[in-house]
Structure 1
Amino acid sequence: MSGLTSDMRDFYGVYPITGKVLNVRKASPAQINRNKFIQDLKKILKLELQKEYTDISSLRYGRVILMTDQDDDGTRMSGLLINLFSFLWPSLLKLPSSFLIDFVTPLTKITHETKEAKTFSSLREFKEWKEKDKAHATEWSVKFYKGLGSSTVEEGILYFNQIDIHVREFVWEGDADGEAINIAFGGDLEKRKEWIQNYNQVDSLPGPRGNKITYKEFVNNELVLFTIANLQKSIPTILPLLTSFPA
Protein backbone atom coordinates (compact mmCIF):
# COMPACT_ATOMS: atom_id res chain seq x y z
CA MET A 1 0.00 0.00 0.00
CA SER A 2 1.53 3.25 -1.19
CA GLY A 3 0.26 5.24 1.81
CA LEU A 4 2.45 3.28 4.23
CA THR A 5 5.98 4.47 4.94
CA SER A 6 8.73 1.98 5.80
CA ASP A 7 8.34 2.76 9.51
CA MET A 8 4.59 2.16 9.36
CA ARG A 9 5.13 -1.30 7.87
CA ASP A 10 6.63 -2.36 11.20
CA PHE A 11 3.15 -2.01 12.71
CA TYR A 12 0.73 -2.61 9.85
CA GLY A 13 0.39 -5.70 7.69
CA VAL A 14 -1.48 -5.48 4.39
CA TYR A 15 -3.52 -8.17 2.62
CA PRO A 16 -5.21 -7.14 -0.64
CA ILE A 17 -8.51 -8.91 -1.26
CA THR A 18 -9.16 -10.01 -4.82
CA GLY A 19 -12.48 -11.45 -5.91
CA LYS A 20 -15.54 -12.02 -3.75
CA VAL A 21 -15.53 -12.77 -0.03
CA LEU A 22 -17.40 -15.98 0.73
CA ASN A 23 -20.75 -15.68 2.50
CA VAL A 24 -19.85 -18.25 5.14
CA ARG A 25 -23.41 -18.51 6.49
CA LYS A 26 -24.50 -20.10 3.23
CA ALA A 27 -21.33 -22.14 2.68
CA SER A 28 -20.61 -25.76 3.56
CA PRO A 29 -17.76 -26.73 5.90
CA ALA A 30 -15.88 -28.05 2.86
CA GLN A 31 -16.24 -24.72 1.05
CA ILE A 32 -14.96 -22.86 4.10
CA ASN A 33 -12.00 -25.20 4.54
CA ARG A 34 -10.82 -24.87 0.94
CA ASN A 35 -11.41 -21.12 0.65
CA LYS A 36 -8.03 -19.48 0.00
CA PHE A 37 -8.87 -16.16 1.63
CA ILE A 38 -9.99 -17.82 4.86
CA GLN A 39 -6.91 -20.04 4.94
CA ASP A 40 -4.65 -17.03 4.35
CA LEU A 41 -6.46 -15.11 7.08
CA LYS A 42 -5.90 -17.94 9.55
CA LYS A 43 -2.17 -17.99 8.79
CA ILE A 44 -1.69 -14.21 8.84
CA LEU A 45 -3.53 -13.64 12.12
CA LYS A 46 -2.74 -17.07 13.60
CA LEU A 47 -6.43 -17.79 14.01
CA GLU A 48 -7.89 -21.13 15.06
CA LEU A 49 -11.36 -22.29 14.09
CA GLN A 50 -13.78 -23.08 16.93
CA LYS A 51 -11.55 -21.33 19.47
CA GLU A 52 -13.16 -19.10 22.09
CA TYR A 53 -11.01 -15.98 22.37
CA THR A 54 -10.92 -14.04 25.64
CA ASP A 55 -8.05 -11.80 24.50
CA ILE A 56 -5.78 -11.24 21.49
CA SER A 57 -2.49 -12.37 23.05
CA SER A 58 -2.18 -15.42 20.78
CA LEU A 59 -2.73 -13.45 17.56
CA ARG A 60 -0.05 -11.92 15.37
CA TYR A 61 -2.02 -8.68 15.00
CA GLY A 62 -4.19 -6.96 17.57
CA ARG A 63 -6.84 -5.63 15.22
CA VAL A 64 -8.14 -5.85 11.68
CA ILE A 65 -8.73 -2.63 9.76
CA LEU A 66 -11.20 -2.87 6.87
CA MET A 67 -10.23 -0.63 3.96
CA THR A 68 -12.91 -0.58 1.27
CA ASP A 69 -14.25 1.93 -1.23
CA GLN A 70 -16.69 4.46 0.25
CA ASP A 71 -19.61 3.28 -1.90
CA ASP A 72 -22.31 0.61 -1.85
CA ASP A 73 -19.97 -2.12 -3.11
CA GLY A 74 -17.41 -1.21 -0.46
CA THR A 75 -20.10 -1.41 2.20
CA ARG A 76 -21.05 -4.86 0.92
CA MET A 77 -17.42 -5.96 1.16
CA SER A 78 -17.18 -4.69 4.75
CA GLY A 79 -20.42 -6.49 5.54
CA LEU A 80 -19.12 -9.80 4.17
CA LEU A 81 -15.94 -9.48 6.24
CA ILE A 82 -17.95 -8.70 9.38
CA ASN A 83 -20.18 -11.66 8.57
CA LEU A 84 -17.13 -13.92 8.20
CA PHE A 85 -15.66 -13.00 11.58
CA SER A 86 -19.02 -13.09 13.37
CA PHE A 87 -19.68 -16.61 12.05
CA LEU A 88 -16.20 -18.16 12.41
CA TRP A 89 -14.75 -16.17 15.33
CA PRO A 90 -17.67 -14.44 17.12
CA SER A 91 -15.76 -14.16 20.40
CA LEU A 92 -13.29 -11.73 18.79
CA LEU A 93 -16.07 -9.29 17.97
CA LYS A 94 -17.33 -9.40 21.55
CA LEU A 95 -14.02 -8.36 23.11
CA PRO A 96 -14.15 -5.03 25.05
CA SER A 97 -11.56 -3.49 22.73
CA SER A 98 -12.95 -3.40 19.18
CA PHE A 99 -11.27 -6.04 17.00
CA LEU A 100 -12.69 -4.83 13.68
CA ILE A 101 -12.14 -1.24 12.58
CA ASP A 102 -13.41 0.62 9.54
CA PHE A 103 -10.93 2.89 7.74
CA VAL A 104 -12.89 5.93 6.52
CA THR A 105 -11.40 7.84 3.60
CA PRO A 106 -12.97 10.96 2.05
CA LEU A 107 -15.83 10.54 -0.39
CA THR A 108 -15.54 14.14 -1.59
CA LYS A 109 -12.84 16.81 -1.45
CA ILE A 110 -13.36 20.50 -2.18
CA THR A 111 -10.55 22.97 -2.83
CA HIS A 112 -10.95 26.73 -2.71
CA GLU A 113 -9.29 29.22 -5.05
CA THR A 114 -7.04 30.08 -2.08
CA LYS A 115 -5.94 26.39 -1.88
CA GLU A 116 -7.92 25.81 1.32
CA ALA A 117 -9.26 22.24 1.26
CA LYS A 118 -12.07 20.38 3.03
CA THR A 119 -13.10 16.73 2.87
CA PHE A 120 -16.44 14.98 3.45
CA SER A 121 -16.91 11.31 4.31
CA SER A 122 -20.56 11.21 3.25
CA LEU A 123 -22.80 12.63 0.55
CA ARG A 124 -25.05 14.16 3.18
CA GLU A 125 -22.19 16.21 4.63
CA PHE A 126 -21.26 17.45 1.16
CA LYS A 127 -24.84 18.33 0.20
CA GLU A 128 -25.41 20.15 3.49
CA TRP A 129 -22.27 22.23 2.91
CA LYS A 130 -23.29 22.98 -0.68
CA GLU A 131 -26.76 24.09 0.40
CA LYS A 132 -25.42 26.21 3.25
CA ASP A 133 -22.77 27.97 1.15
CA LYS A 134 -24.65 28.35 -2.15
CA ALA A 135 -23.38 31.86 -2.79
CA HIS A 136 -19.72 30.79 -2.73
CA ALA A 137 -19.97 27.19 -3.99
CA THR A 138 -18.58 28.12 -7.41
CA GLU A 139 -15.34 29.27 -5.77
CA TRP A 140 -14.55 25.66 -4.89
CA SER A 141 -13.47 22.81 -7.15
CA VAL A 142 -14.91 19.40 -6.31
CA LYS A 143 -13.23 16.00 -6.47
CA PHE A 144 -15.25 12.81 -6.02
CA TYR A 145 -13.22 9.78 -4.96
CA LYS A 146 -14.36 6.71 -6.91
CA GLY A 147 -12.39 4.35 -4.68
CA LEU A 148 -9.23 3.84 -2.68
CA GLY A 149 -7.20 4.09 -5.88
CA SER A 150 -8.41 7.67 -6.38
CA SER A 151 -6.30 8.93 -3.48
CA THR A 152 -2.75 10.06 -4.20
CA VAL A 153 0.32 8.69 -2.41
CA GLU A 154 0.58 11.95 -0.48
CA GLU A 155 -3.06 11.70 0.60
CA GLY A 156 -2.54 8.07 1.65
CA ILE A 157 0.41 9.01 3.86
CA LEU A 158 -1.67 11.81 5.38
CA TYR A 159 -4.52 9.38 6.16
CA PHE A 160 -2.18 7.13 8.15
CA ASN A 161 -0.45 10.02 9.87
CA GLN A 162 -3.90 11.15 11.02
CA ILE A 163 -5.24 7.64 11.51
CA ASP A 164 -7.25 8.51 14.63
CA ILE A 165 -9.63 10.68 12.61
CA HIS A 166 -9.92 8.11 9.82
CA VAL A 167 -10.91 5.03 11.79
CA ARG A 168 -14.25 3.94 13.16
CA GLU A 169 -14.58 1.11 15.68
CA PHE A 170 -17.23 -1.57 15.34
CA VAL A 171 -18.85 -2.25 18.72
CA TRP A 172 -20.71 -5.36 19.87
CA GLU A 173 -23.48 -4.39 22.29
CA GLY A 174 -25.38 -7.68 22.49
CA ASP A 175 -27.40 -10.37 20.75
CA ALA A 176 -29.14 -7.80 18.54
CA ASP A 177 -25.85 -7.26 16.70
CA GLY A 178 -25.51 -10.94 15.84
CA GLU A 179 -29.17 -11.15 14.84
CA ALA A 180 -28.81 -8.20 12.47
CA ILE A 181 -25.81 -9.77 10.74
CA ASN A 182 -27.63 -13.10 10.48
CA ILE A 183 -30.67 -11.48 8.88
CA ALA A 184 -28.53 -9.69 6.30
CA PHE A 185 -26.49 -12.75 5.29
CA GLY A 186 -28.52 -15.76 6.44
CA GLY A 187 -31.11 -17.76 4.58
CA ASP A 188 -34.34 -16.46 6.16
CA LEU A 189 -35.87 -14.61 3.20
CA GLU A 190 -38.90 -13.37 5.14
CA LYS A 191 -36.77 -11.68 7.79
CA ARG A 192 -34.54 -10.24 5.08
CA LYS A 193 -37.59 -8.85 3.27
CA GLU A 194 -38.86 -7.30 6.51
CA TRP A 195 -35.40 -5.80 7.15
CA ILE A 196 -35.47 -4.03 3.78
CA GLN A 197 -39.09 -2.86 4.14
CA ASN A 198 -38.45 -1.41 7.59
CA TYR A 199 -35.63 0.81 6.37
CA ASN A 200 -36.44 4.51 6.71
CA GLN A 201 -35.93 5.73 3.15
CA VAL A 202 -36.59 9.35 4.15
CA ASP A 203 -33.11 9.29 5.68
CA SER A 204 -31.50 7.53 2.72
CA LEU A 205 -28.14 9.31 2.70
CA PRO A 206 -25.68 8.23 5.39
CA GLY A 207 -24.51 11.10 7.55
CA PRO A 208 -21.13 11.91 9.07
CA ARG A 209 -19.41 8.81 10.37
CA GLY A 210 -18.55 8.93 14.06
CA ASN A 211 -15.66 7.04 15.61
CA LYS A 212 -17.84 4.17 16.82
CA ILE A 213 -20.78 2.22 15.44
CA THR A 214 -22.54 -0.95 16.57
CA TYR A 215 -22.80 -3.87 14.18
CA LYS A 216 -26.58 -3.53 14.25
CA GLU A 217 -26.35 0.15 13.26
CA PHE A 218 -23.99 -0.71 10.41
CA VAL A 219 -26.35 -3.39 9.08
CA ASN A 220 -29.56 -1.39 9.45
CA ASN A 221 -28.30 2.04 8.35
CA GLU A 222 -25.51 1.34 5.85
CA LEU A 223 -25.48 -2.24 4.58
CA VAL A 224 -29.18 -2.03 3.79
CA LEU A 225 -28.38 0.76 1.31
CA PHE A 226 -26.32 -1.66 -0.77
CA THR A 227 -29.17 -4.18 -0.74
CA ILE A 228 -31.69 -1.57 -1.87
CA ALA A 229 -29.34 -0.22 -4.56
CA ASN A 230 -28.68 -3.76 -5.79
CA LEU A 231 -32.41 -4.45 -6.06
CA GLN A 232 -32.94 -1.20 -7.96
CA LYS A 233 -30.20 -2.17 -10.42
CA SER A 234 -31.78 -5.58 -10.96
CA ILE A 235 -35.34 -4.37 -11.64
CA PRO A 236 -34.60 -2.56 -14.97
CA THR A 237 -33.03 -5.75 -16.34
CA ILE A 238 -36.21 -7.69 -15.60
CA LEU A 239 -38.79 -5.25 -16.99
CA PRO A 240 -37.56 -5.34 -20.63
CA LEU A 241 -37.92 -9.12 -20.57
CA LEU A 242 -41.51 -8.82 -19.39
CA THR A 243 -42.45 -6.25 -22.03
CA SER A 244 -40.95 -8.37 -24.81
CA PHE A 245 -43.68 -10.99 -24.46
CA PRO A 246 -46.98 -10.49 -26.37
CA ALA A 247 -50.06 -9.61 -24.34
Structure 2
Amino acid sequence: AKEQWQDEELLEWRRQKTKEQWTPEFRAKRREALDKTYYRKTLEALHKVYQSSGFIDLELYDIYRRREKDKSMLKFETFYNRYFEGDEFLARDAIRNYNHRVVSIEPLTERRDVYDIEVPNTHNFALASGVFIHNSAKQGRDRRFQAILPLRGKIINIEKTDDAKIYKNNEIQSMITALGLGIKGDEFDAAQLRYHKIIIMTDADVDGAHIRTLLLTFFYRYQRALVDQGYIYIACPPLYKVERGRNHYYCYSDRELTQLVQNEFPGNANYTIQRFKGLGEMMPVQLWDTTMNPDTRTLKRVEIEDAAEADRIFTVLMGDRVAPRREFIETYGPKLKITDLDI
Protein backbone atom coordinates (compact mmCIF):
# COMPACT_ATOMS: atom_id res chain seq x y z
CA ALA A 1 0.00 0.00 0.00
CA LYS A 2 2.88 2.36 0.82
CA GLU A 3 4.42 1.66 -2.58
CA GLN A 4 1.13 2.34 -4.33
CA TRP A 5 0.85 5.71 -2.60
CA GLN A 6 4.14 6.62 -4.30
CA ASP A 7 2.74 5.75 -7.76
CA GLU A 8 2.03 9.11 -9.46
CA GLU A 9 -0.05 7.49 -12.19
CA LEU A 10 -2.24 5.78 -9.60
CA LEU A 11 -2.57 8.97 -7.56
CA GLU A 12 -3.63 10.92 -10.66
CA TRP A 13 -6.27 8.29 -11.40
CA ARG A 14 -7.56 8.59 -7.82
CA ARG A 15 -7.76 12.40 -8.06
CA GLN A 16 -9.83 12.17 -11.23
CA LYS A 17 -12.21 9.66 -9.65
CA THR A 18 -12.66 11.95 -6.64
CA LYS A 19 -13.54 14.87 -8.93
CA GLU A 20 -16.08 12.69 -10.72
CA GLN A 21 -17.59 11.66 -7.39
CA TRP A 22 -17.93 15.21 -5.99
CA THR A 23 -20.77 16.35 -8.21
CA PRO A 24 -23.02 19.25 -7.10
CA GLU A 25 -25.70 16.69 -6.18
CA PHE A 26 -23.23 14.69 -4.07
CA ARG A 27 -22.01 17.86 -2.32
CA ALA A 28 -25.59 18.86 -1.53
CA LYS A 29 -26.38 15.44 -0.04
CA ARG A 30 -23.18 15.49 2.00
CA ARG A 31 -23.98 19.01 3.25
CA GLU A 32 -27.47 17.90 4.24
CA ALA A 33 -26.11 14.86 6.09
CA LEU A 34 -23.54 16.98 7.93
CA ASP A 35 -26.20 19.54 8.85
CA LYS A 36 -28.35 16.79 10.36
CA THR A 37 -25.37 15.50 12.32
CA TYR A 38 -24.41 18.97 13.59
CA TYR A 39 -28.02 19.70 14.55
CA ARG A 40 -28.62 16.37 16.30
CA LYS A 41 -25.34 16.30 18.24
CA THR A 42 -25.60 19.94 19.34
CA LEU A 43 -29.24 19.58 20.39
CA GLU A 44 -28.53 16.35 22.29
CA ALA A 45 -25.59 17.89 24.13
CA LEU A 46 -27.50 21.06 25.05
CA HIS A 47 -30.47 19.00 26.26
CA LYS A 48 -28.11 16.85 28.34
CA VAL A 49 -26.74 20.00 29.99
CA TYR A 50 -30.31 21.26 30.54
CA GLN A 51 -31.29 17.98 32.27
CA SER A 52 -28.23 17.90 34.50
CA SER A 53 -28.29 21.56 35.63
CA GLY A 54 -32.02 22.37 35.46
CA PHE A 55 -31.50 25.24 33.01
CA ILE A 56 -29.67 25.88 29.74
CA ASP A 57 -26.21 26.61 31.14
CA LEU A 58 -24.17 27.78 28.14
CA GLU A 59 -20.92 27.96 30.10
CA LEU A 60 -21.30 24.31 31.13
CA TYR A 61 -22.12 23.40 27.52
CA ASP A 62 -18.95 25.09 26.25
CA ILE A 63 -16.89 23.18 28.85
CA TYR A 64 -18.54 19.92 27.81
CA ARG A 65 -17.99 20.69 24.11
CA ARG A 66 -14.29 21.44 24.58
CA ARG A 67 -13.81 18.35 26.73
CA GLU A 68 -15.41 16.06 24.15
CA LYS A 69 -13.37 17.64 21.31
CA ASP A 70 -16.26 16.91 18.94
CA LYS A 71 -16.29 19.50 16.16
CA SER A 72 -19.85 18.55 15.22
CA MET A 73 -21.07 20.24 18.44
CA LEU A 74 -21.63 23.83 17.37
CA LYS A 75 -21.41 26.98 19.42
CA PHE A 76 -24.85 27.96 20.69
CA GLU A 77 -24.85 31.20 18.67
CA THR A 78 -23.96 29.30 15.49
CA PHE A 79 -26.62 26.71 16.31
CA TYR A 80 -29.59 29.09 16.59
CA ASN A 81 -28.43 31.30 13.71
CA ARG A 82 -28.08 28.34 11.36
CA TYR A 83 -31.15 26.29 12.30
CA PHE A 84 -33.60 28.77 13.86
CA GLU A 85 -33.12 31.83 11.64
CA GLY A 86 -31.37 33.69 14.44
CA ASP A 87 -34.24 33.23 16.92
CA GLU A 88 -32.60 32.28 20.23
CA PHE A 89 -35.96 31.82 21.97
CA LEU A 90 -37.09 29.11 19.51
CA ALA A 91 -33.76 27.34 19.92
CA ARG A 92 -34.10 27.31 23.72
CA ASP A 93 -37.66 26.02 23.39
CA ALA A 94 -36.47 23.17 21.13
CA ILE A 95 -33.72 22.25 23.62
CA ARG A 96 -36.14 22.06 26.54
CA ASN A 97 -38.70 20.03 24.58
CA TYR A 98 -36.25 17.64 22.91
CA ASN A 99 -36.73 13.88 23.26
CA HIS A 100 -39.82 13.86 25.46
CA ARG A 101 -40.99 10.42 26.51
CA VAL A 102 -44.39 8.80 26.94
CA VAL A 103 -45.27 8.87 30.64
CA SER A 104 -48.55 6.98 30.50
CA ILE A 105 -51.21 5.79 28.07
CA GLU A 106 -54.81 6.22 29.18
CA PRO A 107 -57.87 5.10 27.18
CA LEU A 108 -60.53 7.77 26.62
CA THR A 109 -64.26 7.08 26.56
CA GLU A 110 -65.07 10.32 24.75
CA ARG A 111 -63.61 12.08 21.75
CA ARG A 112 -61.46 15.15 22.45
CA ASP A 113 -59.48 17.65 20.40
CA VAL A 114 -55.71 17.34 20.70
CA TYR A 115 -53.27 20.16 20.01
CA ASP A 116 -49.53 19.87 19.47
CA ILE A 117 -46.75 22.16 20.59
CA GLU A 118 -44.97 23.44 17.49
CA VAL A 119 -41.22 23.17 17.90
CA PRO A 120 -39.31 23.81 14.65
CA ASN A 121 -36.92 21.08 13.52
CA THR A 122 -38.17 18.61 16.15
CA HIS A 123 -41.01 16.12 16.31
CA ASN A 124 -44.27 17.63 17.53
CA PHE A 125 -45.75 16.00 20.60
CA ALA A 126 -49.20 16.18 22.19
CA LEU A 127 -49.18 18.23 25.36
CA ALA A 128 -52.60 17.01 26.52
CA SER A 129 -56.18 16.95 25.33
CA GLY A 130 -58.48 19.94 25.23
CA VAL A 131 -58.07 23.54 24.10
CA PHE A 132 -55.25 25.45 25.74
CA ILE A 133 -54.91 29.18 25.98
CA HIS A 134 -51.65 29.42 24.02
CA ASN A 135 -53.15 27.29 21.23
CA SER A 136 -56.30 29.42 21.06
CA ALA A 137 -54.17 32.56 21.12
CA LYS A 138 -51.73 31.25 18.52
CA GLN A 139 -54.58 30.34 16.18
CA GLY A 140 -56.53 33.54 16.78
CA ARG A 141 -53.72 36.10 16.63
CA ASP A 142 -52.60 38.19 13.68
CA ARG A 143 -49.19 36.67 12.94
CA ARG A 144 -48.00 39.84 11.22
CA PHE A 145 -47.62 41.75 14.48
CA GLN A 146 -48.58 39.51 17.42
CA ALA A 147 -46.36 36.93 19.14
CA ILE A 148 -47.44 34.52 21.89
CA LEU A 149 -45.15 33.37 24.70
CA PRO A 150 -46.87 30.58 26.67
CA LEU A 151 -45.77 30.44 30.30
CA ARG A 152 -46.19 27.04 31.95
CA GLY A 153 -48.08 27.98 35.08
CA LYS A 154 -46.90 30.45 37.71
CA ILE A 155 -43.40 31.90 37.63
CA ILE A 156 -41.43 32.04 40.85
CA ASN A 157 -42.12 34.84 43.32
CA ILE A 158 -38.97 36.94 42.87
CA GLU A 159 -39.75 38.83 46.08
CA LYS A 160 -38.98 35.63 48.03
CA THR A 161 -36.18 34.28 45.84
CA ASP A 162 -32.48 35.02 45.59
CA ASP A 163 -30.89 36.21 42.35
CA ALA A 164 -29.20 32.88 41.57
CA LYS A 165 -32.55 31.04 41.37
CA ILE A 166 -34.13 33.84 39.37
CA TYR A 167 -31.38 33.72 36.74
CA LYS A 168 -31.82 29.93 36.41
CA ASN A 169 -35.63 29.95 36.15
CA ASN A 170 -36.63 28.69 32.70
CA GLU A 171 -39.81 30.75 32.42
CA ILE A 172 -37.97 33.98 33.25
CA GLN A 173 -35.14 33.02 30.88
CA SER A 174 -37.66 32.47 28.09
CA MET A 175 -39.39 35.76 28.80
CA ILE A 176 -36.17 37.80 28.83
CA THR A 177 -34.89 36.09 25.67
CA ALA A 178 -38.18 36.66 23.83
CA LEU A 179 -38.17 40.37 24.71
CA GLY A 180 -34.50 40.75 23.77
CA LEU A 181 -33.46 42.13 27.17
CA GLY A 182 -30.87 41.39 29.81
CA ILE A 183 -31.88 40.09 33.23
CA LYS A 184 -30.82 43.20 35.11
CA GLY A 185 -32.68 46.47 34.93
CA ASP A 186 -29.52 48.52 34.38
CA GLU A 187 -28.97 46.67 31.09
CA PHE A 188 -32.23 47.97 29.59
CA ASP A 189 -31.87 49.30 26.07
CA ALA A 190 -35.08 50.28 24.27
CA ALA A 191 -33.37 49.72 20.92
CA GLN A 192 -33.01 46.01 21.72
CA LEU A 193 -36.64 45.59 22.80
CA ARG A 194 -38.39 43.35 20.26
CA TYR A 195 -41.97 44.24 21.26
CA HIS A 196 -43.27 47.61 22.42
CA LYS A 197 -46.56 46.28 23.79
CA ILE A 198 -45.97 43.55 26.37
CA ILE A 199 -49.46 42.33 27.23
CA ILE A 200 -50.11 40.09 30.23
CA MET A 201 -53.07 37.87 29.33
CA THR A 202 -54.31 35.63 32.15
CA ASP A 203 -57.57 34.04 33.25
CA ALA A 204 -60.10 36.30 34.96
CA ASP A 205 -60.01 34.34 38.23
CA VAL A 206 -57.93 34.18 41.41
CA ASP A 207 -55.19 32.04 39.84
CA GLY A 208 -55.00 34.35 36.83
CA ALA A 209 -54.72 37.37 39.10
CA HIS A 210 -51.93 35.64 41.04
CA ILE A 211 -49.98 34.90 37.86
CA ARG A 212 -50.45 38.49 36.71
CA THR A 213 -49.20 39.80 40.06
CA LEU A 214 -46.12 37.57 39.93
CA LEU A 215 -45.29 38.88 36.45
CA LEU A 216 -45.84 42.49 37.51
CA THR A 217 -43.59 41.93 40.52
CA PHE A 218 -40.82 40.66 38.25
CA PHE A 219 -41.15 43.56 35.80
CA TYR A 220 -41.27 46.12 38.63
CA ARG A 221 -38.18 44.76 40.39
CA TYR A 222 -36.00 43.67 37.46
CA GLN A 223 -37.25 45.60 34.42
CA ARG A 224 -38.54 48.80 35.99
CA ALA A 225 -37.84 50.78 32.83
CA LEU A 226 -40.46 48.74 30.95
CA VAL A 227 -43.08 49.91 33.44
CA ASP A 228 -41.86 53.51 33.63
CA GLN A 229 -41.82 53.88 29.83
CA GLY A 230 -45.30 52.39 29.39
CA TYR A 231 -44.50 49.09 27.67
CA ILE A 232 -46.47 46.83 30.07
CA TYR A 233 -50.20 46.26 29.51
CA ILE A 234 -52.88 44.01 31.01
CA ALA A 235 -55.45 42.32 28.76
CA CYS A 236 -59.10 42.44 29.84
CA PRO A 237 -60.86 39.22 28.79
CA PRO A 238 -64.64 38.90 29.31
CA LEU A 239 -66.14 37.01 32.22
CA TYR A 240 -69.46 36.14 30.59
CA LYS A 241 -71.01 35.43 27.22
CA VAL A 242 -74.76 36.06 27.05
CA GLU A 243 -76.73 34.57 24.15
CA ARG A 244 -80.27 35.63 23.26
CA GLY A 245 -81.61 34.30 20.01
CA ARG A 246 -79.07 34.94 17.28
CA ASN A 247 -77.37 37.75 19.22
CA HIS A 248 -74.59 37.41 21.76
CA TYR A 249 -72.98 39.83 24.19
CA TYR A 250 -69.73 39.81 26.18
CA CYS A 251 -69.67 41.15 29.73
CA TYR A 252 -66.43 42.00 31.49
CA SER A 253 -67.76 42.21 35.04
CA ASP A 254 -70.71 41.15 37.19
CA ARG A 255 -71.95 44.76 37.08
CA GLU A 256 -71.99 44.73 33.25
CA LEU A 257 -73.90 41.46 33.28
CA THR A 258 -76.52 42.80 35.70
CA GLN A 259 -76.95 46.03 33.70
CA LEU A 260 -77.30 44.09 30.42
CA VAL A 261 -80.00 41.79 31.77
CA GLN A 262 -81.93 44.54 33.57
CA ASN A 263 -81.72 47.29 30.94
CA GLU A 264 -81.61 45.46 27.59
CA PHE A 265 -83.78 42.36 28.04
CA PRO A 266 -87.53 42.24 28.69
CA GLY A 267 -88.62 40.54 31.91
CA ASN A 268 -89.76 37.40 30.06
CA ALA A 269 -86.74 37.17 27.74
CA ASN A 270 -85.03 33.81 27.21
CA TYR A 271 -81.27 33.93 27.31
CA THR A 272 -78.29 31.81 28.35
CA ILE A 273 -75.22 32.90 30.32
CA GLN A 274 -71.83 31.24 29.88
CA ARG A 275 -69.25 31.92 32.59
CA PHE A 276 -65.73 31.62 31.18
CA LYS A 277 -63.60 29.62 33.62
CA GLY A 278 -60.47 30.56 31.69
CA LEU A 279 -59.17 31.89 28.38
CA GLY A 280 -58.65 28.31 27.20
CA GLU A 281 -62.42 27.84 27.03
CA MET A 282 -62.70 30.44 24.27
CA MET A 283 -62.47 29.53 20.64
CA PRO A 284 -59.70 31.34 18.72
CA VAL A 285 -62.22 33.65 17.02
CA GLN A 286 -63.78 34.57 20.39
CA LEU A 287 -60.39 35.28 21.93
CA TRP A 288 -59.44 37.47 18.98
CA ASP A 289 -62.69 39.45 18.98
CA THR A 290 -62.81 40.07 22.73
CA THR A 291 -59.21 40.24 23.91
CA MET A 292 -56.68 40.45 21.07
CA ASN A 293 -58.16 42.53 18.24
CA PRO A 294 -56.70 46.07 18.51
CA ASP A 295 -59.98 47.50 17.18
CA THR A 296 -62.22 45.91 19.83
CA ARG A 297 -60.05 44.88 22.80
CA THR A 298 -59.59 46.71 26.09
CA LEU A 299 -56.08 47.11 27.51
CA LYS A 300 -54.91 48.62 30.77
CA ARG A 301 -51.50 50.29 30.69
CA VAL A 302 -49.52 49.69 33.88
CA GLU A 303 -48.41 53.01 35.35
CA ILE A 304 -46.83 54.05 38.66
CA GLU A 305 -48.12 57.26 40.23
CA ASP A 306 -46.36 56.83 43.58
CA ALA A 307 -43.15 54.81 43.33
CA ALA A 308 -42.54 54.72 47.08
CA GLU A 309 -46.06 53.43 47.82
CA ALA A 310 -45.81 50.87 44.98
CA ASP A 311 -42.52 49.63 46.41
CA ARG A 312 -44.10 49.27 49.85
CA ILE A 313 -47.16 47.41 48.56
CA PHE A 314 -45.06 44.93 46.56
CA THR A 315 -42.96 44.26 49.65
CA VAL A 316 -46.02 43.79 51.90
CA LEU A 317 -48.08 41.60 49.58
CA MET A 318 -45.34 39.58 47.86
CA GLY A 319 -42.59 39.45 50.51
CA ASP A 320 -41.81 36.59 52.89
CA ARG A 321 -43.15 38.33 56.03
CA VAL A 322 -46.65 37.10 56.89
CA ALA A 323 -47.64 39.58 59.63
CA PRO A 324 -47.69 42.75 57.43
CA ARG A 325 -49.67 40.92 54.76
CA ARG A 326 -52.26 39.70 57.31
CA GLU A 327 -52.55 43.22 58.73
CA PHE A 328 -53.10 44.65 55.23
CA ILE A 329 -55.86 42.12 54.47
CA GLU A 330 -57.59 42.65 57.82
CA THR A 331 -57.45 46.43 57.37
CA TYR A 332 -58.47 46.81 53.74
CA GLY A 333 -60.38 43.57 53.09
CA PRO A 334 -63.72 44.79 54.52
CA LYS A 335 -63.38 48.18 52.80
CA LEU A 336 -62.69 46.61 49.42
CA LYS A 337 -65.42 43.98 49.95
CA ILE A 338 -63.07 41.13 49.09
CA THR A 339 -65.02 37.91 48.56
CA ASP A 340 -62.47 35.75 46.70
CA LEU A 341 -59.28 35.37 48.70
CA ASP A 342 -56.62 32.83 47.68
CA ILE A 343 -55.47 31.51 51.06
What SS class does the counterpart of residue 209 from structure 2 fall into? helix
CA contact (8 A) 1:33 1:39 kept: yes
CA distance in 2, matches of 1:132, 1:201: 30
Residue 156 (str. 1) matches residue 156 (str. 2): no
- 1:76 deviates by 0.6
Indicate yes or no: 2:196 matched with 1:62.
yes
Instruction: Please state whether the residue corresponding to 1:109 is helix, strand or coil.
Output: strand
Amino acid at match of 2:322: L
Larger radius of gyration: 2
TM-score of the superposed pair, with normalisation by structure 1: 0.73
| Alpha-carbon distance in structure 2 between the residues aligned to 1:46 and 1:153 | 27
Q: Is the contact between residue 65 and residue 103 of structure 1 (CA under 8 Å) also seen in structure 2?
A: yes
Which residue number in structure 1 is paired with residue 258 of structure 2? 127
**Is 2:159 the counterpart of 1:25?**
yes
Structure 1: runs of 5 or more not aligned: 206-224, 232-247
Once the two structures are TM-superposed, the CA of residue 126 in structure 1 deviates from its matched residue by: 1.9
Alignment of 1:22-61 (within 5 A): 22-52=156-186, 56-61=190-195
Question: Aligned to 1:142, what secondary structure does the other structure show?
Answer: strand
Distance 2:184 2:278 in 1: 35
CA contact under 8 A between 1:110 and 1:118: conserved in structure 2?
Answer: yes
Q: Indicate if the aligned counterparts of 2:240 and 2:252 stay in contact, CA closer than 8 A.
A: yes
Is the counterpart of residue 196 in structure 1 residue 335 in structure 2?
A: no
Contact 2:185–2:222 (8 Å) recurs in 1 = no
Provide the secondary structure at the position in 1 that maps to 2:190: coil
Describe how 1:98-109 pairs up with structure 2 within 5 A: 98-109=230-241
Give the direction of change, closer, same or farther, for the CA distance of 1:58–1:139 in structure 2 (3 Å limit): same
Preserved contact between residue 53 and residue 92 of structure 1 (Cα < 8 Å)? no
- The question of whether the paired residues in 1 share the 8 Å contact of 2:279 and 2:287 is answered with no
Alignment of 1:155-174 (within 5 A): 155-159=286-290, 160-162=292-294, 165-174=297-306
Percent of aligned positions that are identical:
23
The one-letter code matched in structure 1 to 2:176 is K
Please tell me whether the aligned partners of residues 4 and 156 of structure 1 are also in contact (alpha carbons under 8 angstroms).
Answer: no
Distance 2:269 2:141 in 1: 41
Tell me how far 1:135 sits from its aligned partner: 5.2
Unaligned runs of 5+ in 2: 1-134
For 2:335 and 2:260, locate their aligned partners in 1 and report how far apart those are by CA, in whole Å: 19
8 Å CA contact 1:53–1:91 kept in 2: the answer is no
TM-score, structure 2 normalization:
0.54
Output the aligned Cα RMSD. Answer: 2.6
Cα drift, residue 141 of structure 1: 1.1
Please give the alpha-carbon distance, in whole angstroms, between the structure 2 residues aligned to 1:139 and 1:80.
Answer: 41
Give the superposition deviation at 1:121.
1.0
